[in-house]
Structure 1
Amino acid sequence: MRKDLGRIGEDIAERYLLNKNFVILERNFRSKRWGEIDIIARDGETIVFVEVKTRSSNRYGNPYEAVTKYKLKALRNSANYYLFTHNLKCLARIDVISINFNFGKYGINHFTNVDF
């Protein structure tokens, strides 16, 4: 169920970003050492590394609260690895998309430039 909810959240986040005129470059990019980046997109000339957090209730807090300092460090390392391996020298940022999903309805919070 968690993987399904996560995948649903990533699909919702992708549609949201496309509606905001982002260009999706990759989904579920993996670096062996630092983990996965849910969505890599372009916003104008900026590469955006997006962490998507989805929850079906607020029992354990809001989804974005699950993005810890450790997770941000791993995202930063994965983002730098992506930029290096793709020979990209451009502006970059990390965004978090937080989705509360319940009974087929959802709310989205988009936090830009969380940390880089």
Structure 2
Amino acid sequence: MGEWIAARWLQADGRRVLGRNFRGVSRGEIDIVARHGESLTFVEVKTRTSRAHGRPADNVGPDKQRLMMRGAHDWLRELDVRPVRFRFDIAEITLIPGELPQVHVIENAFQLPDSSMAGR
């Protein structure tokens, strides 16, 4: 449910969703790949049904970031276009019973030392 809400929100915000639930050959994974202006965005979606345990983005630690980086590398390799600007975003979805879903997107949630991957 959270990924569907995030994809709809991204589209309403003017972003073009290019793929969902991408699994790369190196076992990387990306929830949503979208075009935002001149950049590709690799989006991790985190959904919570309570505000009691902190922000959803708090669950995107180093292990998850590595999975996203591997997935981004695989996506870019399949795309075979160089160089390309990209970033890693996190879409926080909060689903509280009786309330409208809340969406908060953190752009550039984390970065690689060289976000162009020109030498991939």
Partner of 1:106: 101
> Are 1:69 and 2:69 matched, yes or no?
no
> Are 1:10 and 2:10 matched, yes or no?
no
Which is further off, 45-54 or 98-107? 98-107
Q: How many residues align?
A: 109
More helix by share: 1
Q: Percent identity?
A: 35
Query: TM-score normalized by structure 2?
Result: 0.83
Partner of 1:92: 86
Do the aligned partners of residues 77 and 84 (structure 1) sit closer, same or farther apart at CA in structure 2, a change above 3 Å counting? same
Q: Which amino acid aligns with 2:67?
A: A
RMSD over aligned Cα atoms: 1.4
Cα deviation for residue 36 of structure 1 reads: 2.0
Partner of 1:53: 46
Cα deviation for residue 62 of structure 1 reads: 1.7
Separation (CA, whole Å) in 2 of partners of 1:69 and 1:36? 14
Is contact 1:34–1:75 with CA below 8 Å preserved after alignment? no
Partner of 1:21: 14
Separation (CA, whole Å) in 2 of partners of 1:94 and 1:34? 17
Query: TM-score normalized by structure 1?
Result: 0.86
Q: Which amino acid aligns with 2:58?
A: E
Is contact 2:2–2:47 with CA below 8 Å preserved after alignment? yes
Cα deviation for residue 61 of structure 1 reads: 2.3
For 1:102, what is the secondary structure of its paired residue?
A: coil
Separation (CA, whole Å) in 1 of partners of 2:94 and 2:79? 33
Structure 1 gap segments, 5+ residues each: 1-7
Q: Which amino acid aligns with 1:91?
A: R
For 2:101, what is the secondary structure of its paired residue?
A: strand
